[in-house]
Amino acid sequence: MNTVSVRFEPLKRYPVISVDGETVSPYSDLAGCENKDLHVCGKRLLKLLDEELGNEYRIELTGSRFQIEMLSALEKESAFCAEVRGKDPGMAFNANEILEFARGLCNKYGYDIDRETRVRIGGDLAYLIRTKSVITEEPAEICVVGSLPDELGKGRTVLLLSDRFDIRNTRGVNIVEVPDQYKETFIEYYRYYTKFIPFIEAVFSRAKYSPLTRGESLLIEAYSTQKPQYLFEIEKTALEAGESVGFQFAVFPSSASDMYQLRVDRADAVKIGCNSVTALKDGPVTLSVTTPDGVLCDSRQLSISSHSYVTNIKLIPSAVNMEVGKKGRIKAYIVPENAEDAGSLQWTSSNPDAVHVTSEGEVIGLEPGEAVITVASTNCTQRVPVTVYPPLENITLSSASLTLQADESRTIACNLFPPDASPGEICWELSSMQLGTIETSKDGRTCLIHAGSAGRGVLTCRIKGTDKKVSCPITVTPEKRPTGLITCTIIFSVIGMVFSFLIPLIYYTGSGPVGFFFDFFLPLGILLSLIGLASAKRKKPFATMLTLDLICTVLMYIIAFAACEPPY
């Protein structure tokens, strides 16, 4: 007895038919029995099998429950079919999930190929029908009746409810008889194979010519083949310890995520994130995609190496100033000293026309300008600014000679020619320390002189390391003290103080406190002290006399008004 295997795969229009394990030729008439036409060509399938085999056979049918029931009921129509056995594998994925994805593609790419199945209810059966199809009284694709009317109408298929299965064609109309309890099953079957599958096929075919994402392509393949697909990508497989690279692992559709698992043979060597993988330890690592029962589907071999690279670079000096034509050197100190790339530091100049740098850190000033010297290792970079000045031709002082009084201060500047020349280190010197002290500015271009003892000497400005220097004579004269003002202040203050002691006597004899104003010497002494404080350089004598004058004034007023009583 031959064994005929008929497998109706979901989302496939044609069944897969094989006889005794050998698939029939695609050019055979058997290969033309479409899933959606089983309710029409079920008898034809049996007839073709009878003609093809010519002897007894049994059918092992894999399909929906209704397909199995219907073909079993038609078994009597065959001369050689001894038995129809079947199993319902069920849908690998939810039908509504696939339909929503297809509709999403329609919205994204502007497809318009969705439609509804229209069902017309005849007779008194409206309350018996429970379906998501559109119920209409207009001409429809399927009509449900309890008995055949005289006129079958324009329905493409008529579902006749009876107590048996049967399929026939009358006046161009397909009449399918099914027991009453199968009516809803048939309507769902009809919708599935006449609307759902053609719609999905059309959308997926159109999508092949659209700019699909990788995920969309895999999802279409998963739905088309009813087998979950996975995406497993990594940017590169040669990594260094501590390095992270892009990584992606996803299962399509996501509802079948448990169908594939990602395994790592050394979990301590890598860290896997949602979109990256980070190498932790050196050595080989294998990433594998397997099924839940351990069947290997795909793998990637990662090679992780560990290196000791330079982690820090210190450059000395931190900045370089030089003249055109001069040479200098930048020293690089690295950590760790025995790093793999210690001997391959890269030295570059941002302005090679102005500054040239060698692989040993020697810098040469070529023309006036600025540049940044960059020193780079594999994972570390440091920079040093370099300024090149034109050569210094000459220097002058802002004053040809200086004359100061003792304790006087004066500023003198060093002028460079050309003005933008490199000053180098400017040094200022006095020929004698007795002449005073000097304070230089931060850049050395100005000098503040504090005169000391009287005398004559020379102030010299020179550029260290060169023959450029300039001098000017300096004379310090004794301080001109205002001796006349000091003498007058002392005389008037002393006389005023003496006369102030006579105020109580004047007050006592009856002249009253007005007598104080005849003592004009003390107020004049106070006035001269204030003038001396404001104009004289030596302020101490004036400050002393002013203090004494004010004390005497206050005391005498207290004595005059509080201690003395006028006579009666």
SS3 47: helix
The pLDDT value given to residue 522: 67
What is the side-by-side strand order in the sheet with 173-179? 134-135, 118-121, 142-145, 157-162, 173-179, 166-170
Judge contact between 300 and 326, C-beta under 8 A.
no
Nearest to 415 by CA among 423, 406, 407: 423
Whole-prediction pTM: 0.48
Q: What own/partner pairs with CB < 8 Å and gap ≥ 24 does 524-530 have?
A: 524/492, 524/496, 525/489, 525/492, 525/493, 525/494, 525/495, 525/496, 525/549, 526/493, 526/550, 526/553, 528/485, 528/488, 528/489, 528/492, 528/493, 529/489, 529/493
Distance CA(519)–CA(98), nearest Å, equals 120
Terminal C-alpha separation, the chain? 168
H helix or E strand, kind and range, residue 427: strand 426-430
The whole-number pLDDT of residue 372 equals 95
pLDDT attached to residue 363: 95
User: Which residue shows structure tokens 């450059």?
Assistant: 315
How confident is the model at residue 130, as a pLDDT? 39
Burial zone of 383 (CB within 10 Å; 0-12 exposed, 13-18 middle, 19+ buried): middle
**Sign (positive/negative) of CA torsion 81, 82, 87, 88?**
positive
- Which residues are within 8 A (CB) of 549 and not within 5 positions of it... i.e. 6 or more apart? 493, 496, 497, 522, 525, 526, 529
d(CA 459, CA 439): 13
pLDDT in tens, the chain (568 residues): 899 998 877 777 778 889 988 888 877 777 777 665 666 667 888 888 888 888 999 999 888 888 888 888 888 888 999 999 988 876 667 878 888 899 899 888 888 776 665 665 554 333 333 344 445 555 566 777 787 766 665 556 788 888 888 887 777 777 888 888 888 888 878 777 777 888 888 888 888 888 888 899 999 988 888 889 999 999 888 888 888 899 999 999 888 888 999 999 988 889 998 889 998 888 899 999 999 888 999 999 999 887 788 889 999 999 998 888 889 999 999 998 888 888 889 999 999 999 999 999 999 999 999 999 999 998 899 999 999 989 888 899 999 999 988 888 899 999 988 888 876 788 999 998 888 898 998 888 899 999 888 889 999 999 888 888 999 999 988 866 656 666 776 776 777 666 666 655 555 544 444 444 445 666 777 777 777 777 666 677 777 877 877 787 777 667 666 655 554 4
Domains of the chain and CATH, by start = 2-87 (3.30.420), 95-207 (no CATH), 228-305 (2.60.40.1930), 312-387 (2.60.40.1080), 394-477 (2.60.40.1080), 483-563 (no CATH)
Edge to edge, the sheet with strand 296-305 lists: 238-240, 296-305, 283-290, 261-264
Per DSSP, helices labelled H in 54-151 are: 65-73, 95-109
pLDDT for 198: 81
Q: What backbone phi and psi angles, to 5 degrees, belong to 98?
A: -65, -40
Give Rg (Cα) of the chain: 56
Give the model's pLDDT for residue 129: 39
Beta-bridge mates of residue 415: 396
Whole-number pLDDT of residue 265? 92
Q: How far apart are CA 312 and CA 333, in angstroms?
A: 8
Residue type, 477: T
